[in-house]
Amino acid sequence: KQEGRNTYRLFRAEMQQQDHRRLELETALRNTAETGEGLAVHYQPLVDRDSGEVQGAEALLRWHHPQFGDVSPGDFIPLAEWSGLILPLGERLMQLVAGQLHDWLAEGLSPPRIAVNLSARQFWQTDLVPRVRALYADYGLPPGLIGFELTESILLDKQQQAVHTLEALREMECRLAIDDFGTGYSSLSYLQELPVTTVKIDRSFIRGLGESRGSAAIVAAVTGLAKELGLRVVAEGVETEAQLAALSRYHVDLIQGYLTGRPVAGEAFAAHYLV
């Protein structure tokens, strides 16, 4: 009994520590959202499987804090979503991406289309479409240069309204991808109802390709359907030549993963990939 009580106390102390750290992180994140200090964007190339050409990039938010160091997006993005800070942070990210594209164009470079992740709260902002329109106008960007990635759960939630917003973004020639495809609800039939251009197969299935028949079956089904519907397919998280080879059996357009390029800062991205 005594032991049980001690375990409980220990457990509670741990919980309090966790709460404390979460609170500290949230306060720090709130300051960062206000000032923008310590935020950066990394860009990861999407490479054409056949030609090896860089056809796009994904923008990934990075946060460095003087006390906490580099905080992983896996830690701060959920916190940002839960607290609502994803709205100001997402706005900053979009400004950073648009500014970067503007600078590259001004230098005479030809940047590829950049995809920005949108979480549910961002997608359902009533003024998302005018915000995006203003972004293009403010930075003088040609149509379609910035696109978006969304998860299935966002789009299934209120499908009619989602279609409406997606159509408005398509009118601006934005590419629209369904992210982490296959991990959510995946009644595949809804794909044809949504005006999206791209599906991104989640990296868990790519990792499983050589290992489980289940993963291969899902990759086969998703790529087959995407081809029927005329959608582009991105394979995410490709790390090895073996995985790349295993993908050759399927209709995959683009490769994104450590094998073809890790996420890097804008300067490095330009040095490696832009002409």
Alpha helices in 36-83 (DSSP H): 73-83
SS3 255: strand
Tokens representing residue 19 in the block: 């709460």
Strand partners, 201: 181, 235
Report the amino acid identity of residue 147.
G
Torsion sign, CA atoms 193, 194, 196, 201: negative
The reply on whether position 93 binds ligand C2E by CB under 6 A is yes
Q: Which residues inside 99-128 make contact with ligand C2E, applying CB under 6 A?
A: 117, 119
The position carrying tokens 């400004």 is: 95
The reply on whether position 50 binds Ca ion by CB under 5 A is yes
Strand partners, 41: 61
The reply on whether position 165 binds ligand C2E by CB under 6 A is no
Give the one entry of Ca ion, ligand C2E, none that residue 152 binds, where binding means its C-beta sits below a cut-off of 5 to 8 angstroms depending on kind: none
Q: Which residues inside 168-227 make contact with ligand C2E, applying CB under 6 A?
A: 179-180, 203
Stretch that binds ligand C2E, among 2-10, 133-141, 213-221, 231-239 (CB under 6 A): 231-239
Give the one entry of Ca ion, ligand C2E, none that residue 258 binds, where binding means its C-beta sits below a cut-off of 5 to 8 angstroms depending on kind: ligand C2E
Q: Which residues are CB-neighbours of 23 under 8 A, at least 6 positions away?
A: none
Give the one entry of Ca ion, ligand C2E, none that residue 50 binds, where binding means its C-beta sits below a cut-off of 5 to 8 angstroms depending on kind: Ca ion
Give the one entry of ligand C2E, Ca ion, none that residue 239 binds, where binding means its C-beta sits below a cut-off of 5 to 8 angstroms depending on kind: ligand C2E
List contacts with ligand C2E (CB under 6 A): 44, 60-61, 72-74, 77, 86, 90, 93, 117, 119, 179-180, 203, 237-239, 257-258, 263
List contacts with Ca ion (CB under 5 A): 50, 117, 149, 179-180, 253
